[in-house]
Chains A and B, each alone.
Chain A
C-alpha cells in the first residue's frame, strides 16, 4: 500500500478562518472532510491554533469550546470518540482563561443561503503558556504577511505564474496560495485583513467572553420567537442595545450561537432556538 504523507497543519489567525467562504469539492467517490480555501489562499484541512479558552459548554457526547486568539475566536467541538478518549477528557478539564494550543481538523457547515460556519474538531489539546501564544501569533503573522506580499506580486503579473513567484524567492506554498486567492477571493479586502493581523501582536490578558450576553441572546430568541417564523434579527439587535451590546457584538454572538448549534436561521435574518 502506498504511504500517504502526513497532512501538516496550517497555522492561521482566527480572522483568516472566519472570513473563509470557499469549500473545495471532494473528488467523486472520496469521503471525508473537504479542504477549505481561506482568503489568503491557504488550503486547510488540519489546523493548529493557540489562544485562551473564553467559553465552554460540556455535554455527555461533546464539549464546545471557544478559543480566542488576539483578534477573534475559534470554535471548537470535541466529540466523545473511542479513538481519542483523552481529547474529550482534556477539553472537559480545561478552565476558562486557560491558554491552549489545539491541533485538529476543520469541519464546515454551509447554510442554505450560503453562510459557512467552521469549527475545529481537535486531535490534540495542549495546555500552554504565554510564550507559546506569542510564538504562535508571531509565526501566524509572518506566514500571513509573506502570503499577502506574494499575492501583491502575483497581482502585478499579466497572468498568474507560479514559477515567476518562486523565482522571486517565495515558496511553492506561497505561490499556490496567491493563485488560489486570485481564483476565489479577488475582491477580498486584503488591506483590512493586514491591518487586523498586524494588531494581533499584542497578546491580550485572557478576557473571558461575556457568557451572560450570549445567554441573553439565546433567552431572548427562545422567549420571543414566533413558532413558525422565528425571532426577527432587528428585534434581537434592539434588545441587545439595551444591554450595551452594539450590532457588531450581537452579530458575533449570533454567529457563536449558530456555530454551537444553539440557534438556526429559519428564514433570512429570522432565528429560532434548536
Chain B
C-alpha cells in the first residue's frame, strides 16, 4: 500500500509512494571530490506537496511525470520536511497514470516569511492599490501593485490580471515570495488562489526587539536609543537629474541640472537586544525637525546646514525613540528605513510600554 504525501514524517522509512514530479531542476556542484549534478524540485499527490532533492534520478524523468518511489528518505531541511532520493531509491516511471496534485502551502504571518520557502500562504488586509498596464505577447495586461498587511507587518503584493477591493481581507494561497533590493514582495499569478476572509485585528504599532528583525518586513516599529549619528547626514544638496549628493555648487555629471536641498540622516540605535543601522529621509526629518517644505527652498533656505545638524543631534541623541518603517536587508546586514521618528514623551512611552506588556501577557 502506497503512502500519501500528507502522511509523511521524519520517521517515514521503507515506504512506497506514487507522486507527480511537479517541478524538476538541475544544479551543478563542485566539491573536493570533483564536479557533479543533482536535481531538486517539488513532488505531490492528491493530499499535498513536498520539496525533494534527488542525488540520483533516472535521466528519463521529466516534470509532470508520475513515478513510484521506494526506499526514499525524509529529513527536515530549513525547518521543512524534504524527500531525498538517492542511489538506493527505486524510481519507476508510470507513464499511463494521471494524478491530480493538491497544492498545500505553509501559512505564514508576514513577519515570519522566509525566502527559503518560495510559495506561501498569507492573509491580510489589502491597501493602496496602484494599477498599471503592460504588453505581453501583443496583448495589453494589467498588474496591480498593492500592500498586504496583517497583525505582524506588511508586504508589497503584485496581482497579475486580478483586481481586489482595497480595505478587504484576503487569503492569498500559493503566492510567490521573492526579494528585491533588500525587501520581500509577493506575486500572485494565475495559479495563486485568492479568497476573501473575515477581518481580524491589526494593531496600530507592531513593536519588535531589534534582534527579531533579521528578515525584511514592512510597516513595523522599533524603539531604542541612538548611540551613533552619521556626520554626513543633515541638510544636503542633490542633483535633480541623478539625485546624487553634491558637495560642490553643481553636479559633476550633470552641470546644467538644478540642485535642490534635501534632508537625510543615518544613525545606529540600540534597544538592549542588539543594534541596527537606520536611515531616514526628507518626509521623516521634516516632521522630526519641525521644518516645512518651503524652508528647504534652495534660493531662500530658512535653515543652515549647521542649524539642521544641531537640531538633528538634539532630537535624535540621548532620547528614547519610536521609529515607524521597514526592516530591509542591507549589504552589511539588517537595516531599518524609518518613515517616521518620534521622540518618546510620557504619553507615547505609556503606549509603547502597554504594547510590550500586551506581548508579555
Interface residues of A (CB under 8 A from B): 6, 8-11, 48, 101, 103, 124, 126-129, 131-132, 134-136, 138-140, 142-143, 145, 171-173
Q: Is the CB of A142 within 8 A of B360?
A: yes
- B residues in contact with A136, CB < 8 Å: 225, 320
B353→A138 contact, CB < 8 A: yes
> Which A residues are CB-close (under 8 A) to B274?
8, 173
What residue of chain A has the Cβ atom nearest to residue B209's Cβ? Answer: A171
Q: Within 8 Å CB of B17, what residues of A?
A: none
**How many residues on chain B are close to A (CB under 8 Å)?**
25
**Which residues on B are within 8 Å of A, measured CB to CB?**
209, 211-212, 223, 225, 227, 268, 270-275, 317-320, 344-346, 349, 352-353, 356, 360
B345 adjacent to A131 (CB under 8 Å): yes
The closest CB in chain B to the CB of A149 belongs to B360
Query: Min CB distance, B335 to chain A, in Å?
Result: 14
CA–CA, A180 to B189, complex, Å?
A: 49
Q: A48-B270, A134-B349, A172-B211 are in contact. List 13 more A-B contacts (CB 8 A).
A: A6-B275, A9-B227, A101-B318, A126-B317, A126-B318, A127-B318, A131-B346, A132-B225, A135-B225, A135-B344, A136-B225, A138-B353, A171-B212
Using A101-B318, A126-B318 as known contacts, say yes or no to A131 and B271 having CB atoms under 8 A apart.
no
With A132-B318, A138-B356, A142-B360: A48-B225 Cβ-Cβ less than 8 Å: yes
**Could you jot down 6 A-B contacts, CB within 8 Å?**
A10-B272, A48-B270, A126-B317, A138-B356, A142-B356, A171-B209
Name the A residues within 8 Å of B353 (CB-CB).
Answer: 138
Q: Contact: B360 with A135, CB < 8 Å?
A: no
- The distance in angstroms between the C-alpha atoms of A76 and B271, with both chains bound, is 21
Which of B211, B212, B273, B320 is A135 in contact with, Cβ under 8 Å?
B320
Using Cβ atoms and an 8 Å threshold, which residues of chain A touch B349?
Answer: 131, 134-135
- Docked-complex contact B272 and A143, CB < 8 angstroms: yes
Q: In the complex, A8→B349 CA distance in Å?
A: 23
Contact of A140 among B209, B272, B275 (CB under 8 A): B272
User: What is the CA–CA distance of A103 and B346 in the complex, to the nearest angstrom?
Assistant: 23
Q: Which of A48, A124, A128, A131 contacts B272 (CB 8 A)?
A: A48
Contact A124 B225 (CB under 8 A): no
Q: Are the CB atoms of A11 and B272 closer together than 8 Å?
A: yes
Q: Quick one: closest B residue to A12, CB to CB?
A: B272
Q: Distance (Å) between the CB of B226 and the closest chain A CB?
A: 10
CA distance A171 to B211 in the complex (A): 8
Closest CB of chain B to A189's CB: distance in Å?
23
A145: which B residues are within 8 A, CB to CB?
Answer: 360
Q: How many A-B pairs with Cβ below 8 Å?
A: 65
Whether A173 pairs with B225 at a CB distance below 8 angstroms is no
CA distance A145 to B349 in the complex (A): 19
Distance A173 CA – B275 CA, assembled complex (angstroms): 13
CA distance A101 to B318 in the complex (A): 7
Residues in B neighbouring A172, C-beta threshold 8 A: 211
Bound form: Cα–Cα A196–B100 in Å: 62
| Shortest Cβ gap from B63 to chain A (Å) | 34
Count chain A CB atoms within 10 A of each CB in B211, B271, B274 and give the residue with the most: B271
Q: Is the CB of B227 within 8 A of A124?
A: yes
In the assembly, what is the distance between CA of A139 and CA of B211, in Å? 14
Q: Considering the chains assembled together, what is the distance between the CA atoms of A129 and B318 in angstroms? A: 9
Q: In the assembled complex, which residues on chain B have CB atoms less than 8 Å from the CB atom of A173?
A: 211, 273-274
Q: Are the CB atoms of A101 and B360 closer together than 8 Å?
A: no
Is there contact, CB below 8 Å, between B227 and A132? no
- Given A6-B275, A142-B360, A173-B211, are A131 and B344 also a contact pair (CB < 8 Å)? yes
Q: Which residues of B contact A103 (CB under 8 A)?
A: 227
Measured between alpha carbons, how far is A211 from B233 in the docked complex, in Å? 44
In the complex the two chains form, what is the Cα distance from A127 to B319 in whole Å? 9
Output the nearest chain B residue to A134 by Cβ-Cβ distance.
Answer: B349
Distance of A52 from chain B, by nearest CB (Å): 15
A139 to B352, CA, bound (A): 11
Q: Name the B residues within 8 Å of A139 (CB-CB).
A: 223, 271-272
Residue of A at shortest CB range from B210? A8
Considering the complex, give the chain A residue whose CB is closest to the CB of B317. A126
B225 CB contacts on chain A under 8 angstroms? 48, 101, 132, 135-136
Report the minimum CB–CB distance from A39 to chain B (whole Å). 17
Query: How far apart are the CA atoms of A101 and B227 in the complex, in Å?
Result: 11
Q: Chain B residue with minimal CB distance to A7?
A: B275
What separation, in Å, do the CA atoms of A212 and B346 have in the docked complex? 35
B272 and A135 within 8 A (CB): no
A268 to B271: give the CA distance in the assembly, Å: 41
Residues of B within 8 A of A10 (CB): 272
Query: How far is B209's CA from A11's CA once the two chains are assembled, in angstroms?
Result: 13
Please give the distance in Å from A194's CB to the nearest CB on chain B. 14
Please name all residues of chain B whose beta carbon is closer than 8 Å to the beta carbon of A8 when the two chains form the complex: 270, 274-275
Nearest-neighbour CB distance to chain A for B309, whole angstroms, equals 17
Q: Which residue of chain B has its CB nearest to the CB of A10?
A: B272
Residue among B225, B274, B353 having the largest count of chain A Cβ atoms under 10 Å: B225
The minimal Cβ–Cβ distance linking A272 to chain B, given in whole angstroms, is 40
- Nearest A residue to B346 by beta-carbon distance? A131
